[in-house]
Structure formats: structure tokens, C-alpha cells
Amino acid sequence: MNNIKTRDPAERPVLELTGVGQQMAAKLARLNVYTLQDVLFHLPSRYEDKTSVSKIGELSLGQATVIIGEIELAQVVFGRRRSLLVRVSDGTGSLTIRLFYFNRAQERSFNRGLWVRCFGEPRRGAKGLEMIHPQYRIFEQQPSGGFDKTLTPVYPTTEGVSQLLWRKITDQVLEKILPSVTELLDARCLPAELQESLQAASLQQALLQLHRPAAGVDLEVMHGASSAAHRRLIFEELLAHHFSLRKSKAARAGERALALQRNHNRERELKQSFGFKLTTAQQRVMREVAEDLAKPSPMLRLVQGDVGCGKTVVAALAMLQAVESKTQTVLMAPTELLAEQHYQTLRDWFEPMGIEVGWLASKTPATLKSDTLRKLADGDLMIAVGTHALIQPTVQYHQLGLVVIDEQHRFGVDQRLALRNKTGAEIVPHQMVMSATPIPRTLAMSFYADLDVSNIDELPPGRTPVETVVMPADSKREEVIERVRLACRQGRQVYWVCPLIDESEVLSAQAATDTEQLLTTALPELTVALVHGRMKPKDKEATMQAFRDAEIDLLVATTVIEVGVDVPNASLMIIENAERMGLAQLHQLRGRVGRGSEKSFCILLYQAPLGQHAKYRLQTLRETNDGFAIAEKDLAMRGAGELLGTRQTGSLGFKVADIIRDQHLLTSLDASALQIETLMPEIIDPLIERWIGNKEAYVNA
């Protein structure tokens, strides 16, 4: 154990720790903990204060704490459930410990006159205060002090790895490894606002404080991550992630892709079938994409732009470039409905040019599927549209040049790895991802540092902004129904959207069905139809088709219509229970109207009373149609997880940082990263290894 300080903790396996054998090591690996350094950087997610003892007479409900009391009475009672009740008192008040699960030994141990120390959450019981299944210990004499000398860390963990084990192994690394952990950052690389506070906390102090916060440290400060120790670690972690993304971008530059050439004549042909002129923004983004595609290294570009800005057109032009260079291209959408719509659109555009468009979804009939698969493998089909089915391992491409992914936030970026060519596995397809949920700039910089980003920041001309009104459902329903009647009488079409209820498609479908019945009765002269997620795709599609063909006046739908569906004649949307939905989702839904030249309306119905957040959300929507502004507000309110899809929870799980809470640090990240690259590039790899790890090396060991 003497050479412990001289060997790099980043290279020493957890097996060296007392209490960790092969089995435990395998469990820790599930948490990406392989080395002693990984243990050190596996930080608590929260803390409990078991250091100080509260007087029973001064307890606050719901706040877990330690009390010490003398046992006055212990008895087993048979109520709805058998339980052991132990009444204890400390002179300021009394409290009952309630155990539902207990054995004979436990029952006998609570003797009158002995003392207990317990940690739990006081609640109001039938006969005064109670703690249910607290952590406890019995003493002969009145003990003094709480359970622990420091705040008790609670570690993120996995099945079979107890908090006790975490404490045992973190104790060991704190004692033996911490002194040898090297400080990588120095003051030259830190933004001015952080320098002072970060100098106050060295890396070692910071780690120690996060693993074992001293008694008396404010729990709120710890949970709010606002201490100097936190700032020290958060900034390091953000830097590590930033570098890691940049590195994967650099690695991509070393990969090979097919250089795709533009064919201006064919482009002109395609543009003719669009039937409109591209906006300036579309032209700019199209050029950015075209230039990337012409390079022999794979493109990875995010094309973002508000609903209705016309991303599909840009995708089609890129796909043409692939086809004209004799390579295949696919367009993948998150839902069958959306994929189907793209399929229609692309067929309308490409088939007149003599280019066949194929279809592949999970529910495609087997014979049709095998035919499509054969053509994709042989290179007889150059374009395919579909869902995830396109990237299943069974699908082989002859020569895949470009993959376009729509509504990228629903997929996560990792799926790009699933695509390989039949000929030449070492050739990587170009990839274009599209999103209507714009990522605010600060986030894009740090979160998509491995992507290039293009913005279509302009809507096609002739769109009139959607006017949004907010109304209480109960008192205004009649009035809203009248507006539906009027709109349809004028030849317009209407969406009536019912939200997801309790995360359940069954309940939601039921609610939508009820609404449809109600509206059919109230509006007998209209053709009313229903789509929801529980319907067969074929029926759903047929209904959508009928709506697009204006055979249906009023479409009652669940949020399945959220993305992409395009019916320019629809000019009124009613959204029920809008208070339950997030900003971005409401904005997406609203984007289904206002697609024609007619003035459109969106009525947000809510169930009173409105909470403060809901009120703010609905007000924001009423005031702005700007997707970027909405995304910024959404981010501030909700957190980045949903905005970024699987990105945060998947490949970018943070240990201490939280990109919402720590947004202010993101702005100085770039400058610091640049400093490091010029002054001390040698710390970049160790920094990445420390926070993100170099897992492969250990997985294969």
C-alpha cells in the first residue's frame, strides 16, 4: 500500500478497495465506476443532516431529522395493519415510532427506560407525531449528539450497492487517494468571475467537502450547489464535457465519407416542383449543407428552425445531391404518421424527376418489406423514407451517402452509429438532423459542440402570425364551439386537441373519444373525426388523409399530431387542458395552424384554477410566436433534459453540473477552453478521463 501515492488513481481498479470483489466491481461498472479516481468523482446526489439533534417539541413536519428520546411504552397493535408502536419522549414532547415490519428481537429490544436515537421524517399520526421506520439505535443511557459527524452523503447508486458500501469505499479513497489527486486547472484558465472563489477551494478541498460536508454546512447551499467547492467542480466538469464533444468532432474529421456533388440542372428541376421560391434563409442553409456534403469527411449538421420554416425543402435538396452522386439517402421520422407525410411529399417532388421513393416502417407488410430491403441492398432504390425501421441491423444499404433525421430531439444523436454501408463499412454516411425545437445559443455551443448548426430563421412569406387566446374551459366551451361552427361554415378546417392524460394512451384515447362524441352532438352539420395513438396506423393515416383532402371539417386528436402534419386550410386549433402541457409542446401544436395565407387562431382552454407556472406558460404563448424566445423561456422553467432529448440523460449525464442552473458559466466556457488549448493542452485528456472516463479500456480488460 506504500506506493499508493505514486501510482495514478485513474489507472487503479476498484478491486484494490476493501469490500470490492469481482461481483461488486461488476455492479460498480454499471455506474461507469471502474477506477479509484472514478470512485472519487462519483459524487453524492444529496445529503441528509444527521449531525444535530432536534427537540421533539420543535420538530417541523416533513423535515427529516435526528431525535433522542426515552422509551415510555412499546406495544404491538392490530389495526388495519399490525404494527409495533414505541412512544418516546425527551421532556419537550413525545413521538411515536411505528414499525410495520419487525421481528421478535426488535419487539423485545424496546424496553421502557432505555433510550433511542432515531433519524426519520416526522409526520402527523393518529395520536400525535410519528416516525415510520426511522433509522434507530437503542442505548442504555441517554446518548449525546447525532449519528454522524459530517452531513450524510447519499450517492446515486444501482441495485446491490448500498449507501453503506459507498461510504466504506469513499472513506478509503478520500483517505488514501485524495492527497494524490492532481490539480489540472490553474487560474490562468478561469474566467475572472470565478477566479477568486475557485482559488478559495482547491480541488482536494472541494472533493472532500462534497463527499463529507462538515456539520453545520447549510443543506440548502449543498443542494443548490452554490458553494465555492461546487463551483470549482462544476466548471471542471463543464470543461470536460465541452472538450469531449470537440474531440468527437475532431475524430469525425478523420472518418471517411463520400464527397457528394451538386447537379445544378437537377436542382432547378426539383425547385420547379416545389412551386415556390426558397426563402433567403433556406438558400443559405442549403448552401451550408451542400458544401459539407461535398467534403470527403462526414457531415453532422443540425438544421434548426421554427415549425413551418420549411426544413423539408432543404432536406430534399440535400437528398438530391446524394442521389445525383449515385449514393443512397434516407429520411427518418420519429412517428409513422410524420414519416408517411414526408413520404407523400418526397414522392410528389421526386417521382416526376424519375426518382423512385421507397417506404420502410415497422408495420410495413412483409412482402413489400423484403422487396424494399432487397432493392436497398442492391442499390436499385436510391431514396427511402420511414421510421426507426430504416436503421435496424437487418437493413443493408448498397452505398448510403446521406441520412436525414427529422425532429432529432426525439431520437438522440447516438443512433447515428447504427448506420453502416454494405460496401465499405469504413465509409460513414453524412448526417443531417432537423429540429423545430431550437436550442438556445449558449446551450448549442456547449451541448452541440460536436455538431455544426444551421438556423432557418425566417418563415416563408405570406404567413400571418397565429393569434393565440387563453380561456377557461368551463365557462367558455359553448362560445368556442360556436367559433368552430363559424370557421367551418367559411370553409376552414379545425383541430381540437386533447392532451395526454396521466402518461396513459388508453386514458387519453378515451378522453378524446368522449370529446369527439360531445362535439359530434353539438355540431351535427359538421364532419367530425378522431385520431389518437391507440388507433391502427392504417386507420390513423386514412383519417389524416381525409382531413388533408378536406373531407373532414373538425379533427379531434390527441397530441399525435404534434409534429409535422401539414394542412394549410386548417386555421383554428383548440387545445384542451393546455395548462398541463409544456411550452415547447404547445408551440409545436400551434404550428399546425397558420400554414396557409388565412388568419389563424389558437384557443388554449384551461381548467381553473391556474398555477403560477401554468399561467406564465400560457401568457408566454399568447404574447409570442417566436420559437427561439419560447425555447429560452422553456429552458429557464423546465430544464434542458426535455429540450435536448436523450442527450442529457444519455451520453451527457452530469455529476455536479446542471446546465440550466449553471447557465451563467456556459458563456465563459469557450474562452476558458481556448486558453487551455493554447496554454496547457496536455490537461485536456486527463480532464476528459476524470469526468467522462475512458471506458473502453476497462470494459475489455
Which spans of this chain sit near Mg ion (rule: CB under 5 A)? 564
Identity of the residue, 499 or 564, whose beta carbon is nearer to Mg ion in the bound complex: 564
Identity of the residue, 40 or 303, whose beta carbon is nearer to ligand ADP in the bound complex: 303
Residue 322 CA: distances (Å) to CA of 262, 353, 366, 404: 8, 15, 28, 11
Q: Can you tell me the distance from the alpha carbon of 627 to that of 265, in angstroms, rounded to the nearest whole number?
A: 35
- CA torsion, points 401, 405, 406, 409, in degrees to nearest 10? -160
Reported as type and span, the H/E element at residue 613 is helix 612-623
Nearest of 231, 230, 222 to residue 150 by alpha carbon: 222
Identity of the residue, 279 or 600, whose beta carbon is nearer to ligand ADP in the bound complex: 279
Identity of the residue, 298 or 564, whose beta carbon is nearer to Mg ion in the bound complex: 564
Q: Can you tell me the distance from the alpha carbon of 420 to that of 428, in angstroms, rounded to the nearest whole number?
A: 7
- CA torsion, points 102, 108, 113, 117, in degrees to nearest 10? -30
Identity of the residue, 313 or 583, whose beta carbon is nearer to ligand ADP in the bound complex: 313
Q: How far is the CB of 310 from ligand ADP (least distance, A)?
A: 3
Angle CA(238)–CA(242)–CA(245) in degrees, nearest 5? 140
The one-letter amino acid code at 659 reads I
Selection from ligand ADP, Mg ion, none that 305 binds (CB < 5 to 8 A by kind) is ligand ADP
Asked whether 137 and 128 are in contact (CB, 8 A), the reply is no
Angle CA(115)–CA(116)–CA(121) in degrees, nearest 5? 150
Selection from ligand ADP, Mg ion, none that 566 binds (CB < 5 to 8 A by kind) is ligand ADP
Identity of the residue, 333 or 413, whose beta carbon is nearer to Mg ion in the bound complex: 333
Identity of the residue, 595 or 633, whose beta carbon is nearer to ligand ADP in the bound complex: 595
Identity of the residue, 277 or 538, whose beta carbon is nearer to ligand ADP in the bound complex: 277
Grid cell for residue 492:
376552414
The one-letter amino acid code at 276 reads F
Q: How far is the CB of 252 from Mg ion (least distance, A)?
A: 26
Place of cell 451542400: 290
Selection from Mg ion, ligand ADP, none that 310 binds (CB < 5 to 8 A by kind) is ligand ADP
Identity of the residue, 252 or 342, whose beta carbon is nearer to ligand ADP in the bound complex: 342
Q: How far is the CB of 624 from Mg ion (least distance, A)?
A: 20
Asked whether 96 and 129 are in contact (CB, 8 A), the reply is yes
Asked whether 211 and 189 are in contact (CB, 8 A), the reply is no
Q: How far is the CB of 613 from Mg ion (least distance, A)?
A: 28
Selection from Mg ion, ligand ADP, none that 460 binds (CB < 5 to 8 A by kind) is ligand ADP
Q: Can you tell me the distance from the alpha carbon of 299 to that of 319, in angstroms, rounded to the nearest whole number?
A: 13
Q: Which residue is nearest to ligand ADP (CB)?
A: 310
Grid cell for residue 443:
446551450
Q: How far is the CB of 231 from ligand ADP (least distance, A)?
A: 40
Nearest of 15, 1, 313 to residue 180 by alpha carbon: 1
Q: Which residues, 6 or more positions from 83, have their beta carbon under 8 angstroms from its beta carbon?
A: 76, 77, 98, 99, 100
Q: Which residue is nearest to Mg ion (CB)?
A: 564
Asked whether 550 and 521 are in contact (CB, 8 A), the reply is no
CB atoms within 10 A of CB 576: 23
Selection from ligand ADP, Mg ion, none that 657 binds (CB < 5 to 8 A by kind) is none
Q: Provide the sign of the torsion angle of the four alpha carbons 533, 539, 545, 548, taken in this order.
A: negative
Identity of the residue, 9 or 310, whose beta carbon is nearer to ligand ADP in the bound complex: 310
Selection from ligand ADP, Mg ion, none that 595 binds (CB < 5 to 8 A by kind) is ligand ADP
Grid cell for residue 412:
438522440
Which spans of this chain sit near ligand ADP (rule: CB under 6 A)? 276-279, 282, 305, 307-313, 436, 460, 566, 595
Asked whether 428 and 278 are in contact (CB, 8 A), the reply is no
Q: How far is the CB of 362 from ligand ADP (least distance, A)?
A: 23
Q: How far is the CB of 311 from Mg ion (least distance, A)?
A: 5
Residue 471 CA: distances (Å) to CA of 506, 594, 612: 27, 20, 16
Identity of the residue, 28 or 331, whose beta carbon is nearer to ligand ADP in the bound complex: 331
Asked whether 263 and 324 are in contact (CB, 8 A), the reply is yes
CB atoms within 10 A of CB 568: 16
Q: How far is the CB of 592 from Mg ion (least distance, A)?
A: 11
Q: Can you tell me the distance from the alpha carbon of 173 to that of 38, in angstroms, rounded to the nearest whole number?
A: 10
Q: How far is the CB of 605 from ligand ADP (least distance, A)?
A: 24
Selection from ligand ADP, Mg ion, none that 328 binds (CB < 5 to 8 A by kind) is none
CB atoms within 10 A of CB 234: 23
Q: How far is the CB of 553 from ligand ADP (least distance, A)?
A: 20
Identity of the residue, 178 or 317, whose beta carbon is nearer to Mg ion in the bound complex: 317
Selection from Mg ion, ligand ADP, none that 233 binds (CB < 5 to 8 A by kind) is none
Selection from Mg ion, ligand ADP, none that 184 binds (CB < 5 to 8 A by kind) is none
Nearest of 225, 211, 275 to residue 462 by alpha carbon: 275
Selection from Mg ion, ligand ADP, none that 282 binds (CB < 5 to 8 A by kind) is ligand ADP
Place of cell 367551418: 488
Selection from ligand ADP, Mg ion, none that 405 binds (CB < 5 to 8 A by kind) is none
Identity of the residue, 146 or 308, whose beta carbon is nearer to ligand ADP in the bound complex: 308
Residue 347's Cβ-count burial label (10 Å; 0-12, 13-18, 19+) is: middle
Selection from ligand ADP, Mg ion, none that 313 binds (CB < 5 to 8 A by kind) is ligand ADP
Q: Can you tell me the distance from the alpha carbon of 539 to that of 363, in angstroms, rounded to the nearest whole number?
A: 13
Selection from Mg ion, ligand ADP, none that 93 binds (CB < 5 to 8 A by kind) is none
Grid cell for residue 499:
392532451
Selection from ligand ADP, Mg ion, none that 391 binds (CB < 5 to 8 A by kind) is none
From its phi and psi, is residue 335 left (phi > 0), alpha (psi between -120 and 50) or beta?
beta
Q: How far is the CB of 349 from ligand ADP (least distance, A)?
A: 10
Selection from Mg ion, ligand ADP, none that 122 binds (CB < 5 to 8 A by kind) is none
Q: How far is the CB of 590 from Mg ion (least distance, A)?
A: 14
Identity of the residue, 107 or 566, whose beta carbon is nearer to ligand ADP in the bound complex: 566
Identity of the residue, 257 or 563, whose beta carbon is nearer to Mg ion in the bound complex: 563
Q: How far is the CB of 316 from ligand ADP (least distance, A)?
A: 9
Asked whether 43 and 152 are in contact (CB, 8 A), the reply is no
Q: How far is the CB of 315 from ligand ADP (least distance, A)?
A: 8
Q: How far is the CB of 406 from Mg ion (least distance, A)?
A: 6
